[in-house]
């Protein structure tokens, strides 16, 4: 698909980690995010058990997201050769409220709790005697003695909606609150203690408030190992901090993971949402720096065009040349258009060879490599004269970046069990595979990284073997 401006920029982001996609209605946020999901599923789910969650609010929003994803997958998903194609669907579109309910009910069941939602009268009836107890020891506290029970209840609910511990509550900026409470004050300390006592007594009486379900769901995440490698979280501007924290707990933060926040510019009048006017997205305390892209242009569906052309660069390590080639993966016929030195040439199917591709190899610490062939990549046979047995591995990590081998690249390996000094090799070290430069200068052979933040790997007293020598690098330029 062809998108415009920041739409295209976000779709083709090379960086992963935490990202923000922000814009007004009809700027194509969900559409672009779903196309991004297809790319993530095809390129950044390295293992069979890795999954992607698209989390939205309400059945209608989930159906819309699922329809957009299905269309995107149909248009884009088959438009290139994927190393990670699988018959099992990796992507799950989930309703946030339903998800919280599942986790909350599981938590209640494990502790044999049967709780019903308390009415406003029941909450106040429970809270008033607790406040009176606090007044006995704090008679000079104006907030407690001046009949501020409703404010105290609202403050307690805000603390729960934000999933604060005491240290966080003591120092947080209380955006949008009706009364001023000084940071690290006695009043904040009293209210936080009241929150703990109120919540415990509420549950002991077989009751809960509307914020307990999220608190229970958060606790249940510690008991469940099911995580998502990538998460897209829609309508962030409508959520409480506790709800956002819950979804973040479902995230498995790997080197190649991503977490996409989608934010609409329109105001939300829901009580206790986190991103009130004036509160920055950085207050979400993500593990890495947020990459933010704002969409301003209206999304015009009539401008969308389906494109199945994929452009690659082949870096020939033996002859030190770079060749650009294009595949039309929507075509029934296998053809490759090669562009080199201002000339173009089409290689037809009988001029191509099928090169098996395997799951992944580490350009970093050694990782287990799957022996199961994942896919086939076609390249011109005359590029590999004298290299009868070749295979392709997907690179994970950045330890070889100074040799122009980056995370996500495909490396063509000539299968052989020996290698010369200074050649880049795929090596098996006691069942794990890695891509490094071979150093044979000293008595002890080493596998050398091309990134100063990694250490050489000594092969002394290790069961190690050469799988092959790197002869080419394939870079996806889309």
Q: What is the pLDDT of residues 196-238, one digit of tens each?
A: 999 999 999 999 999 999 999 999 999 998 899 999 999 999 9
* CATH number of the structural domain spanning residue 420: 2.10.109.10
Residue 215 counted as domain residue: no
399 is catalytic: yes
Average pLDDT of the chain to the nearest whole number: 86
pLDDT classification of 290: cutoffs 50, 70, 90: confident
- Evaluate whether residue 336 is within a structural domain: yes
Number of structural domains the chain divides into? 3
Domain boundary among 301, 332, 348: 301
Instruction: Judge if 367 and 455 occupy the same domain.
Output: yes
Does residue 68 fall inside a structural domain? yes
Say which of 436, 441, 458, 465 is annotated catalytic.
436
Q: Which of 393, 414, 419 is nearest to 405 (CA)?
A: 393
**Pair (130, 273) in one structural domain:** no
Note whether 332 and 415 are same-domain residues: yes
In a domain, residue 399? The reply is yes
In tens, the pLDDT along 101-147 reads 999 999 999 999 999 999 999 999 999 999 989 888 887 887 777 76
Pair (328, 443) in one structural domain:
yes
73 domain residue, yes or no: yes
Residue 83 has pLDDT above 50, yes or no: no
Structural domain that includes position 268: 5-110+223-301
Residue 412 and residue 377 share a domain: yes
What is the b/e burial string over 217-239, where b = at least 16 CB atoms within 10 angstroms of the residue's CB? Answer: bbbbbeeeeebbbbbbbbbbbbb
| Same domain, yes or no: 291 and 317 | no
Residues 6+ apart with CB under 8 A from 433: 361, 362, 366, 367, 368, 369, 393, 426, 427, 467
Task: Establish whether 436 is a catalytic residue.
Answer: yes
**Residue 348, domain member (yes or no):** yes
Contact 392, 358 (CB under 8 A): yes
Domain boundary among 301, 332, 353: 301
Q: Which residues pair with 468 in a beta bridge?
A: 415, 426
Residue that is last in its domain, among 205, 235, 253: 205
Q: What is the pLDDT of residues 314-339, one digit of tens each?
A: 999 988 999 999 887 655 567 888 87
- Catalytic one of 160, 399, 401, 414: 399
Say whether both 296 and 313 belong to one domain: no
Whether 279 and 404 map to the same domain: the answer is no
Mean pLDDT along residues 71-95: 64
Task: Note whether residue 386 is domain-resident.
Answer: yes
| pLDDT on residue 1 | 54
- Residue 91 confidence (pLDDT) above 70: yes
Say if residue 99 is in the same domain as residue 9. Answer: yes
Clarify whether residues 369 and 471 are in a common domain.
yes
CATH number of the domain encompassing residue 23: 3.40.50.300
Same domain, 266 and 327: no
Pair (342, 452) in one structural domain? yes
- Residue 211 within a domain: no
The more confidently predicted of residues 280 and 176 is: 280
Query: Which residue did the predictor score with more confidence, 67 or 285?
Result: 67
Q: Provide the pLDDT for residue 374.
A: 59
Query: Could you give the CA distance from residue 262 to residue 33 in angstroms, rounded to a whole number?
Result: 8
| β-bridge mates for residue 448, sequence order | 437
């Amino acid at each position: 698909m062809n998108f415009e401006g920041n739409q295209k920029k976000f779709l083709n982001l090379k960086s992963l980690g935490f990202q923000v996609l922000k814009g007004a209605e009809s700027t194509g946020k969900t559409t672009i995010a779903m196309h991004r999901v297809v790319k993530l599923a095809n390129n950044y789910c390295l293992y069979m058990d890795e999954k992607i969650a698209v989390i939205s609010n309400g059945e209608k929003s989930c159906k819309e997201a699922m329809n957009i994803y299905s269309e995107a997958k149909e248009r884009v998903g088959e438009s290139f050769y994927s190393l990670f194609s699988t018959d099992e669907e990796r992507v799950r579109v989930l309703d946030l409220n339903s998800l919280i309910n599942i986790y909350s009910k599981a938590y209640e069941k494990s502790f044999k709790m049967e709780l019903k939602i308390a009415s406003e009268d029941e909450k106040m009836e429970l809270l008033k005697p607790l406040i009176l107890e606090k007044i006995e020891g704090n008679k000079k506290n104006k907030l407690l003695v001046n009949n501020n029970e409703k404010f105290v209840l609202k403050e307690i609910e805000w603390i729960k909606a934000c999933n604060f511990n005491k240290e966080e509550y003591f120092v947080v900026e209380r955006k949008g609150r009706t009364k001023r409470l000084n940071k690290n004050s006695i009043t904040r300390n009293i209210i936080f203690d009241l929150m703990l006592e109120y919540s415990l007594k509420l549950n002991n009486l077989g009751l809960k408030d509307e914020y307990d379900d999220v608190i229970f769901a958060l606790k249940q995440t510690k008991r469940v190992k099911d995580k998502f490698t990538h998460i897209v979280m829609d309508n962030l501007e409508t959520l409480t901090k506790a709800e956002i924290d819950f979804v973040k707990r479902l995230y498995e933060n790997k080197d190649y993971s991503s977490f996409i926040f989608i934010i609409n510019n329109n105001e939300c009048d829901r009580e206790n949402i986190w991103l009130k006017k004036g509160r920055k997205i950085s207050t979400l305390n993500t593990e890495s720096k947020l990459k933010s892209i704002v969409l301003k242009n209206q999304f015009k569906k009539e401008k969308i065009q389906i494109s199945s052309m994929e452009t690659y660069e082949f870096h020939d390590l033996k002859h030190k040349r770079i060749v650009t080639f294009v595949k039309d993966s929507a075509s029934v016929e296998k053809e490759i258009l090669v562009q080199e030195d201002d000339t173009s040439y089409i290689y037809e199917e009988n001029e191509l060879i099928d090169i098996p591709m395997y799951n992944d190899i580490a350009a970093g610490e050694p990782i287990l490599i799957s022996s199961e062939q994942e896919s086939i990549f076609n390249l011109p046979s005359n590029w590999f004269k004298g290299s009868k047995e070749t295979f392709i591995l997907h690179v994970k990590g950045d330890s070889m970046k100074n040799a122009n081998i980056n995370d996500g690249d495909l490396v063509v390996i000539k299968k052989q069990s020996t290698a010369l000094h200074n050649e880049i090799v795929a090596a098996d070290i006691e069942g794990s595979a890695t891509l490094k430069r071979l150093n044979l200068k000293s008595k002890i052979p080493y596998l050398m990284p091309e990134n100063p933040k990694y250490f050489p790997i000594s092969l002394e007293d290790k069961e190690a073997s050469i799988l092959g020598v790197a002869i080419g690098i394939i870079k996806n330029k889309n």
